[in-house]
Chains A and B, each alone.
Chain A
Amino acid sequence: MSFKAISNYQIIHEFKNSKIGLFGIAILLFLICISIYAILTIPLDSYRQWNNPNYWINYPKAAMPAWINIFSSLKQPEHLMMDKPIISQQVEEGTITVKNTYKFLFNYDFFPSDFMLNYAVQYGVIPPIVSIQLTRPDGNTFELVSKSLPSAEGNMSSFYDTIYSTQDDIKHNLRSYLHKFSYDVDDSRPEQMLFSSQSGPRVLKGQYMLTQSFTFFNGEDHVLNSQLIVGGKVYGLLGTDELRRDLSIGLLWGTPIALLIGLSVSILSILIGSVYGVMAAYKGKRIEQGMMMIVQFFVSIPTIPILIIFSVSIGQSIFLIIGFLIIFSSVGQALVSRSMGLQIKNFQYVEASKLLGERDTKIVFRHILPQLVPYLFANIALSVPGAILGEAGLSFFGLGDPTIPTWGQIFHDAQTFSATARGLWWWILPPGVMIGITGLAFVLIGYTLESLVNPQKKGN
């Protein structure tokens, strides 16, 4: 490799004149924006809970992204999760009535898959009465549930309950409204009957209002929380997976993680590799041979099988993975920088500083390494995709860090549930596309930097 010096000005100039370089920087900026957005807006908690199935219990299963409704004339129902009802309180002699009202628009062409109501109350000796009514856009009000909660075990105990649309008492109560429908409506499926038009088997669109009222007989009784979920077939920006996880959280949070893995591995491995290689070149003789033998050893073993054995036997931590990747990707740089070091070593100013009696480390760090900097930038950019792919590969085989979900792990889960064969494209394409465009950004930047240091490689 021939050698020449390059200034910062030349780097800026090269990028200004290179379309692919600018495109690469644009993608990188986009990824950085996503990372900042993810860190600022998505609570770390929901990301930490990625592998905890209980956290996602209220989410829909394998729901498509919500924006697909834009492209189809028939609208799929969106999954609605409401936990901020309008609360009103009424005190009569001896009783307190608390009403939680949920208003929601249902303008879709298909019935919801189900609905459920989670709530928690705290009460004393006399159990409260719970009743649920649904007011439809056509003005009809259906009474769904009316029941007394079980008597309290102690004073002021908390009671958690979920009312499902498939419950028998709902079906039973709905039977008394069958006459309101002009056709034979299916009363065994409350989620369909409640959202059906009176004149025919189609969805009644408009604003629905679900009221849950609690009648308390003690002064201190109160509702702790309440949540209504209307199950739909589409959800959020990127849909959900088979395990009900919101894919947008994993995917958006995956961006800063991938950039962290890619950049830390590439920067550290290039720095370590080049210091190692230049040191070897400068020292020469036996030391050089010994150092290069170690490099040859690492170059001649395949990375992925060895990383798999490491992960299986040592453990699955993101820091271990980063460490392994640094070792394996620094050896290539060590080979390259050694050959460059051999050239610079014989430059006159290096000889001069040697004669002046400067220390070896000072000569290497002050006089030889700075000459390599432009090359290092190119190599750093070009080795980022390899690092991200290395982690994605390990994660794909199920050896990723379980506490930190990455794109590779989402890909792994999608493969485990055979998402491709089932056509769950929103699960398997986004992580793949993200890995691809992140790689593309750094390859484009790397090519631009490389064409600066190696003009004979320049395309068109």
Chain B
Amino acid sequence: MSFLRFFIARLLTVLVVLSAVILMTISLLGTSMDDILKTSIKQDVVLAVTQDTKLSSNFKNLQDRQHYIDNQIEGTIHAEGLDEPWYSPRSMGTKFLKTMTLDLGRARFLTSDSGSQQVSNIILEKLPKTILLFSTSTIIITFIGLYLGAFSANRIGSLVDRFTSAAAIFSSSAPVFVVGVFMILVFAYFYQVLPARATPLTPPTDPYYILDLLYHMILPLATIILTGFGGWAYITRSLVINILNEDFIAVKRSQGIAEKKIIYSHALKNAAPPVIITVALSLSASLSGALIFETIFNWPGMGLLYFNAINLRDTPVILGQTYVLVLIFLITNFIVDMIYGLIDPRVKLV
């Protein structure tokens, strides 16, 4: 199979999965999805009429205006097929397209920091914050994990190796949010050295904003790294151990290349891609922890938004968020797949 065919096949899978998820969601929501869109149409029409001064001056009285608004609303609802039952093809098509383009109207209660009520604005404002925290922590964890793993692979049974194994057990059993709560209690409440709230107080225009942001990120970052690096180190360790048994390593050794160079340069280079892929593919498991984690630290990202939206039963926001998260997840997996396909040609055969 050529790479292009592999690429197209995976892309099609992504599209099929995405469509299936959207269809499933709008079928599950049924009529309440229609209600969300109808409410948003009503609000849009009223707003449009109020803002259009030329149009407003044409009305003789309030009844006339109300009549016009009602007509407009009915017309739009009919045009989009929302007056039909929720399962009719036209209604489903509208809802499908609206979800795809994140055109979900207004949130019921929540607003973005800039004051907008549009679901898309709210979500797009929170998304970069989540990406910032988790990409930073993932990069740091990658480095610690790879080097600690390689180091303990070379010294099986040593103190560092035992530490790596213990950290791996800690990683897989201690939920990140529990550790987070513990860290806040210790470092922000009992010893008040670090801020518990992860949101910086200085305005983004301030030149010291970056420093303040970093200061506020210390505690959440430390927590993610503390709970995360063990798993990576353990996977790296077992992969490097396998690679160290291979013939080409024996050849390098016989050539008299320093052991340090063999491990960190040759063995690690071969172990890195599968490690990164393995962990990238386990994103789903870490996603739920990440969302909860944000809430604990008041980090203004997708997790906190979920928490608030669910508490207020703000269905448009919940729906939009689910769509965006599924989309990001699918795209990430797709990219990881592509990279894997380029690195390791055997994958394409699966």
Contacts and interface: CB of A to CB of B under 8 A. Distances in A.
15 contacts: A302-B325, A304-B288, A305-B321, A305-B322, A306-B21, A313-B28, A397-B306, A420-B181, A423-B190, A425-B189, A432-B181, A433-B178, A436-B174, A456-B242, A460-B161
Interface stretch (A101-109, A208-216, A385-393): A385-393
Dominant SS among interface residues on chain B: helix
A440 interface: yes
A interface SS class: helix
Given A313-B32, A415-B296, A439-B174, A302 B182 contact: no
Nearest to A440: B173
Interface of A: 20, 296-297, 300-306, 308-310, 312-314, 385-386, 389-390, 392-393, 396-399, 411, 415-416, 420-421, 423, 425, 428-429, 432-433, 435-436, 439-440, 442-444, 447, 456-457, 459-460
A447 to B, nearest CB: 7
A435 B178 contact: yes
Contacts, number: 145
A423 B185 contact: yes
Interface string B276-298: 00000001110111011001100
B131 interface: no
B185 A429 contact: yes
B232 interface: no
A300 B330 contact: yes
Nearest to A397: B310
B156 interface: yes
A444 B169 contact: yes
A117 to B, nearest CB: 37
Contact of B285 (A310, A386, A429, A447): A386
Contact of A460 (B162, B188, B296): B162
B200 interface: no
Contacts of B283: 302
B29 interface: yes
Given A389-B175, A389-B288, A425-B185, A296 B329 contact: no
A415 B295 contact: yes
B178 A436 contact: yes
Contact of B238 (A385, A425, A457, A460): A457
A297 B17 contact: yes
Contacts of B319: 309
Contacts of A392: 175
Interface of B: 13-14, 16-17, 20-21, 25, 28-30, 32, 156-157, 161-162, 165, 169, 172-175, 177-178, 181-182, 184-185, 188-190, 196-197, 238, 242, 283-285, 287-289, 291-292, 295-296, 306-307, 310-311, 313, 315, 318-319, 321-322, 325-326, 329-330, 333
Contacts of B188: 420
Nearest to B312: A398
A423 B238 contact: no
A309 B322 contact: yes
A246 B156 CA distance: 48
A393 B292 contact: yes
Instruction: Name, among A396, A415, A447, the residue most crowded by chain B CB atoms within 10 Å (CB to CB).
Output: A396
A456 B322 CA distance: 40
Contact of A304 (B165, B291, B315, B330): B291
A440 B174 contact: yes
Given A297-B17, A396-B177, A396-B292, 8 more contacts: A300-B14, A300-B17, A303-B284, A312-B313, A415-B296, A420-B296, A423-B189, A442-B173
Nearest to B33: A313
Given A300-B330, A306-B21, A312-B315, A432 B182 contact: yes
A340 B196 CA distance: 48
A398 B169 contact: no
A241 to B, nearest CB: 15
A432 B329 contact: no
B288 A393 contact: yes
B28 A309 contact: yes
A300 B172 contact: no
A429 B169 contact: no
B232 to A, nearest CB: 15
Contacts of A439: 172-175
Nearest to B291: A304
Contact of B172 (A393, A420, A443): A443
Contacts of B318: 308-309, 312
